[in-house]
Amino acid sequence: MTVERHAFTLQLTERCNLACRYCYVARRRQPDVLDCTPDFCERFVDFSFRETKDRLKITFFGGEPLLRPDLIRHTVAYGKNKAAANGSKVMGFHLVTNGTLLDDPMGDFIAEQGIGLEISLDGPAAVHDAKRIYPDGSPSFRRVYGNLLRFVDRHPAHPVSIFSVVTASDSLPWLQALCRGIDAQGFTYNPVRLAHEDEHHAGSRRIVKHALKERINLHRESFLAGQRDCDQEISAQMACLLGGRKAERCEAGINATIITRTGDIYPCPFFVGHEDQVIGNIRQGFFPARVKSYLDRHLVSMKSCRGCGARRVCGSGCAFDAYEDSGRVDLQARQACLDTRAYVRRLKASLVALASKVPEKFIEQALVPGHEPRSNATEMRCDATSRSFVIRLTGRCNLACDYCYDKGPEHLREDLDLPGARRMIAHILESPAAEPLVCLFGGEPLLNWEVGEFLIEEIAREAQRSGKRPFFHLTTNGTLMTPRIAKTIHRHGITVQVSVDGLRENHDRYRKDMNGKGSWEAMFRGIELLKQANPEAKIDGQAVLTPGNMDMISMVMALKRMGLRRISFLVAGWEERTGISWSDADIQALMRAREDFFPFFLESASQGNPEVDMGFASLVAAEPEGSLGICECGSGEVFFDTRARIHRCPQIYAAGLPSIGECGQPAPGEEIGGPGHGFVKKECLACWAHTRCRGGCMVRNQRCPWMPSRVLPRNESLWCDFMRAEFARAMLAYRILETRKPRVNLAIKAMFGA
C-alpha cells in the first residue's frame, strides 16, 4: 500500500526550560541533552522533500523548540530556498511551543515567515501554574500569557492556536473566552497522558471525563446563546455524526511522524524513546515492515469497530493508547474505547438538543459541508399527476367543533348524489394514476355513507377490469360508527383516520355535538367497533393543536394506548372563521413544543415507530433532496365537492374560490410556484426554504400561494419561522437516522411510496 505523506515533525531538542508535572518525556526517561545541528536540519529537509509530492508541512517540536531559535531560522531559510528551486512544492511551517520564550524578535520572524503558531496554555493562572512550572517550582503563566497577548497585539492578523492539557474540570470557560478574545484559529483540549501505574492516573481520568462532559455542555450553551463557535472541534465531531465529514484518524506512522536528532523516525511524538517502534531513518528511509502495522491498524480497527456507535467520531482511536494498553498498535485500548463511547453518547444528546432548538443555525454553523439549506435557485421536479382524490360526501356534520373552518353558506351543506358519484368514479378510473388513493371526506362522511359505500364498491369492481389498484381512506370523527359500517370498512381494507385530540378533557374542550356536549365517549365507542370488526384494523389518529392543547408527546401516548396506528397533527387556524386565536406567545409556545417533540420522534423512529408524527415523517421521507413543496393542491391531490366539481383543496373550496375543473374534464394540474399563482411574496422567493415550502400552505397556518392569505399579518412571519424550523429539523433528522439506523429512513420513505 502506497503512503502519501505531506507532513513531518522535527524534534529540534528534547530539552525544555519547564518541568511540567505531567510531562510524558520526563516520565519515560531522562531527556537527551544534545540538540539537532544545522547540517542535520538540512538533511531532514532533503529527506522530507523526497518523501512528499506537491505539498509539505514541517512542524518544529521539542522539548521546547524555542530553546533553539537559530535552528528554526536556519531550517525555514533552507526549506524555502529549496522549495523555490523546486518550483512545484508548496511548503509551510508550524511551531508548537510553551510560549515562555516567545520574545518580540522571534514573534516578528514567525509572523513574517507565515509560520503557524500553537501555544500551550492550560487555563487561568491557578490551573496553569499547578502543573506547568519551571524546574525551581516557580510559575510560568504570567510569562506565557504576556507573551501571547503581546504577539497578538503586534500581529493581529496572524493565526494563533491554543493547545491545552486537561488538568482541571473548570478551566474550559476561561480558555474559550480567551480563544474568542484573541480570535484563535484553533483550540485543542487533550487529556493528561499518565501511565496506569501513576498514582494520579485514576484521578486524572475522572477530571478528564468531567471536563469533556462540561466541554460539550459549554459548546451547547454557547451555541444556543448565539456566540461565535469557538470550539470547532466539537462542531466537527457533530458533523461526523451527521455524515457531513469523516473523523480525523490517528495519523501515527503516516503524517504524525517525528524525527529526532539521531535521524530515527517515530510514529508520533508520544512514541519517541520507544525504540521498538522506530519505523525508519532519514538515511535509509521508512522500514516497510514497521510501517505496515500502522497501516493495518486502520483496517483491523474498522472490522472490530463496525458495530460501535462511536466509530464516526473516534477515527479508530489512538495508536499510542493501544500500544500502552497491550504493547501492540493493532488492538484497541479497552478503557479508551469505553471512555470514547460515553463521550460520544453525550455528544449525540447535545447534537439532538441543538437540532431541536436551533435547527437552522445548527445547519448553517455546524460545519456540515453539502448539507446546508439550498437556495431558491434550485430547480424542482414537477409531477402534476393527481394521485389522491378527496371526495366530499356531504357538507353536513353531526358535531360543531369550535375550530371548524367549514362554516360557509347553507347550500354547502348538501350531500353528494349518485349521479355525481358516478362522474367521480369515471374521472378517477380514467386518470393516469395506477394506484389512486380515494379519500372519503366531509363534513362527516358517515352521514352519507350509502353513497360512500357505492363509490367504494364501484371503484373496486371497475378497477379490477382496468388493472388499477385503488386504496381507500376515510376521515371521520368516529361518533357515527356502526357494526355494519365497520364490517364494510374491514371488507375493503379501508384505512380510517379518526379525529381525536388526545385525552378526554382536551378532546371535549373543542369537539362537541350540537348541544355542546363533548364527543369523546362516542368517538371512543366508534374505535372499539372498528377493532371488534377487525382486530388488525388500520385506524389512524388526527389531532388538532390549539393554544390550550399542544403537548404532542402526551397526545401520542394517549392515542397509542387507544390502539391507533399513525398519528397526524393539524394546527387550528383561520382565525376569522374559527375564532381560535394564536398570540405570538402561543406560537412561540408551540415552537417550544415542537422542540421538545423532536427527540421523542427520533427515539420513536429509531425503535421502528416513526408514525408518531406523519406530517414530520413526510418531510424526513423527502430528504436528502427535500420536498417538492408541502402543498399538492390541484396537482398531486384534488378535492371533489358534492357537485362533482374539482378544487385545489378543502380550505380553498371553503374560502369560496371557483373550481379548477369538473369531473370528466382533466384538471389543470398546475405546479405550485408555476404560472398563474399570484400570491407568493418576494420574501418567500428569497427564503432558503422556498424550494421545500413553495409558497406555504394554509392548513399549516402559513400563506396560501393560490389566494390572499387567511393568516393574520401579526403572526404571519412567526408561522413561517415555525415551518422553516420544521424543514431544518427534517434535514437533520434524516442525517441523524442515516448515520444511526439507515434502515429507519428506508422504512419512512416506504410509508410514502418513495
* Three-class SS of 697-720: CHHHCCCCCCCCCCCCHHHHHHHH
Which of 192-206, 311-325, 540-554 has the highest average model confidence (pLDDT)?
540-554
Strand, coil or helix: 163? strand
- pLDDT digit string (tens) for 41-58? 999 999 999 999 999 999
pLDDT, average across residues 476-485: 97
Answer yes or no: is 395 within a domain: no
Residue 32 pLDDT > 80: yes
* Domain-ending residue, one of 331, 360, 392: 331
Residue 9 pLDDT greater than 50, yes or no: yes
The answer to whether residue 446 scores a pLDDT higher than 90 is yes
Its pTM stands at 0.82
- What local confidence, expressed as pLDDT, does residue 371 receive? 45
Give the helix/strand (H/E) hosting 427. Answer: helix 418-430
Q: Which domain holds residue 260?
A: 5-192+250-331
Q: Counting beta carbons within 10 angstroms of the beta carbon of residue 86, is it exposed (0 to 12), middle (13 to 18) or buried (19 or more)?
A: exposed
Q: Is 347 domain-assigned? A: no
How is residue 196 annotated by DSSP? T
pLDDT at 664: 77
Which region among 48-62, 291-305, 406-420, 642-656 has the lowest average model confidence (pLDDT)? Answer: 291-305
pLDDT band at 381 (very low <50, low <70, confident <90, very high): very low
Per DSSP bridges, beta strands 495-499 and 471-476 are: parallel
Query: Which pLDDT value is given to residue 674?
Result: 40
**C-alpha cell of residue 215:** 466541554
For residue 27, name the pLDDT band (cuts at 50, 70, 90): low
**545 occurs within a structural domain:** no
- Mean per-residue pLDDT for 209-222? 87
Q: Within 13 Å and on the Cβ side, how many CA atoms surround 274? A: 19
Per residue, the 3-state secondary structure of 373-427, as one string, reads: CCCCCCCCCCCCCCCEEEEECECCCCECCCCCCCCCCHHHHCECCHHHHHHHHHH
Residue 671 has pLDDT above 70, yes or no: no
- The answer to whether 125 and 167 are in contact (CB under 8 A) is no
Phi, psi of 501 (to 5 degrees): -105, 35
Q: What is the pLDDT of residue 695?
A: 80
The helix (run of H) or strand (run of E) holding residue 604 is: helix 584-606
- Listed residues 315, 331, 347: the one ending a domain: 331
Q: Is the pLDDT of residue 198 over 60?
A: no
Indicate if the pLDDT at residue 300 is higher than 70. Answer: no
* Identity of the amino acid at 734: Y
Position 548 scores a pLDDT of 87
Separation CA 732–CA 51 (nearest Å): 42
Any domain includes 293: yes
Lowest mean pLDDT among 299-313, 467-481, 557-571, 626-640: 299-313
CATH of the domain at 176: 3.20.20.70
Q: What is the pLDDT of residues 227-283, one digit of tens each?
A: 766 678 888 889 888 888 888 888 999 999 999 999 999 999 999 989 999 999 999
Closest CA to 256 of 210, 309, 315, 194: 315
Last residue of one domain, picked from the residues 300, 331, 362 = 331
Instruction: Inform me whether the pLDDT recorded for 356 exceeds 80.
Output: yes
Backbone angles phi, psi at 164, to 5 degrees: -125, 140
Residue 496 β-bridge partners: 474, 539
Examine the pLDDT at 375 and tell me if it is beyond 50.
no
522 in any annotated domain? no
The pLDDT-based confidence of 422 (bands split at 50, 70, 90) is very high
Confidence of residue 100 (pLDDT cuts 50, 70, 90): very high
pLDDT at 331: 79
Average pLDDT on 316-331 reads 86
Q: Residue 281: which H helix or E strand, with range?
A: strand 280-281
- Beta-bridged to residue 390, according to DSSP, are 439, 639
Q: What percent of the chain has pLDDT over 70?
A: 90
- Give the Cα separation of 102 and 154 in Å (integer): 12
Q: How far is CA 327 from CA 156, 276, 301, 321, 691, in A?
A: 45, 10, 16, 9, 56
Among 171-180, 200-209, 583-592, 658-667, which stretch is predicted with the lowest mean pLDDT?
A: 200-209
Measure the CA angle with vertex 444, ends 441 and 445; round to 5°.
50
Half-sphere exposure of 307 (CA within 13 A, CB side): 0
Q: Is the pLDDT of residue 557 over 60?
A: yes
Q: Lowest-confidence range among 366-370, 665-669, 710-714?
A: 366-370
Residue 16 maps to a domain = yes
Residue 198 or residue 529, greater confidence:
529
The model's confidence at residue 378, banded by pLDDT at 50, 70 and 90, is: very low
* pLDDT above 50 (res 376): no
Over range 732-743, report the average pLDDT: 90
Indicate whether 119 pLDDT > 60: yes
User: Per mean pLDDT, which range of 506-510, 596-600, 617-621, 675-679 is the poorest?
Assistant: 675-679
CA nearest 123: which of 72, 157, 77, 162? Answer: 162
Cβ count within 10 A of residue 144: 25
Which range (221-235, 352-366, 466-480) has the least confidence? 221-235
Query: Got the DSSP string for 71-119?
Result: HHHHHHHHHHHHHHHHSS-EEEEEEEE-STT--HHHHHHHHHHT-EEEE
Model pLDDT for residues 102-112, shown as the tens digit of each residue? 999 999 999 99
Q: What is the pLDDT of residues 124-151, one digit of tens each?
A: 999 999 999 999 999 999 999 999 999 9
Tell me if 553 sits within 8 A of 596, measured CB to CB.
yes
pLDDT of res. 25: 77
Q: Label residue 428 by pLDDT band (50, 70, 90).
A: very high
Strand partners, 721: none
- Predicted pLDDT at 693: 85
Q: Is the pLDDT of residue 199 over 60?
A: no
Inside any domain, residue 231: no
Q: Residue 193 pLDDT > 70, yes or no?
A: no
Q: Is residue 386 part of a domain?
A: no
Residue 222: per-residue pLDDT: 86
The total of structural domains in the chain comes to: 2
Write down the pLDDT at residue 410.
Answer: 63
| Interval 540-552 mean pLDDT | 94
- Whole-number mean pLDDT of the chain? 88
Q: What is the CA radius of gyration of the chain?
A: 34
Provide the pLDDT for residue 383. Answer: 43
Q: What is the pLDDT of residue 673?
A: 36
Query: Phi and psi (nearest 5°) for 285?
Result: 90, -165
More confident residue, 412 or 698: 698
